[in-house]
Amino acid sequence: MRRNTYLNLERMMKRWTSPVYAFYHPIPDIAYIDGHRAHVFKCTAKSCKYTCRRFLDGPDRSSTGNLIKHVKTCWGDVAYKAATDCQHANEARESVVKPLTTSGTITTAFDRKGKGKVSYRHRQHTKTETKAEIVRWVSESVCLFKIVEDRGFLSLMKTGRPDYYIPSASTVSRDVRIVFARTRARIGQMLQEHPGRINFATDAWTSPNHYAYVAVTAHLEVRGEPICIVLDVVELLVVRQYLDFNLLYH
């Protein structure tokens, strides 16, 4: 039975000549799900965890649709196109996939192993990914939106690839607002659907120039991890008006 399974696999593998197979491990795993046999293809890109399951008794048993879809997002259109110019998966593996994985010229993810180094994917960002990455960068590092028009930054980004897309400062400002609105809605939904308890806390302080602020935070447990979210930072105008009044009239 077992031997048969592998003979069968070997026979099928001979038919997998499409260049898209070059991006996956040459021998797929065999899995049984509810008694149905499936081939599990693993993407070979560094730090990519993607797997594609194909049931042998399903209508998609020889379909490469999902395999192709993933290759385009993981390796990029250019790499996929280069592979399709090859006659056979083996040829694509040698002349496209191998050089890409060894030289690391294709690019980018935030895959961080523990506290270790960040590793980058081989493919350049798409326009949308660049915009998302910039929103994350200016928010995390508290940059002015104008930073994207900075001469030095543009020189670093565009040297060697003058067509590299960088959004304008006003686009970044709009994107930040959009991301903020969506994130707020998502956090709201997450808190409402949270099955456990949520603790709310406040933290109030006064800035050196006598402005009073209160931060409202939520504390909860998600998948075993304690998390803390700032819901809002409110300026207490009442206090300020009181202080202004005192400064003016006393």
- Which residues contact Zn ion (rule: CB under 5 A)? 43, 45, 48, 50, 74
Q: Which is nearer to Zn ion, 111 or 150 (CB)?
A: 111
Q: Which is nearer to Zn ion, 74 or 89 (CB)?
A: 74
In the sheet that holds 199-206, the strands lie side by side as: 199-206, 212-222, 225-235
Nearest distance from C-beta of residue 122 to Zn ion, angstroms: 10
State which amino acid sits at residue 90: N
Q: Which is nearer to Zn ion, 43 or 135 (CB)?
A: 43
Q: How far is CA 7 from CA 2, 11, 12, 182, 186, in A?
A: 9, 6, 9, 51, 49
Q: Which is nearer to Zn ion, 66 or 217 (CB)?
A: 66
Nearest distance from C-beta of residue 148 to Zn ion, angstroms: 29
Nearest distance from C-beta of residue 42 to Zn ion, angstroms: 9
Q: Which is nearer to Zn ion, 41 or 145 (CB)?
A: 41
Q: Are strands 225-235 and 29-33 parallel, antiparallel or unpaired?
A: unpaired
d(CA 192, CA 217): 15
Nearest distance from C-beta of residue 72 to Zn ion, angstroms: 10
Nearest distance from C-beta of residue 17 to Zn ion, angstroms: 21
DSSP output for 55-95: ETTSTTTT--HHHHHHHHHHT-HHHHHHHHTSSSHHHHIII
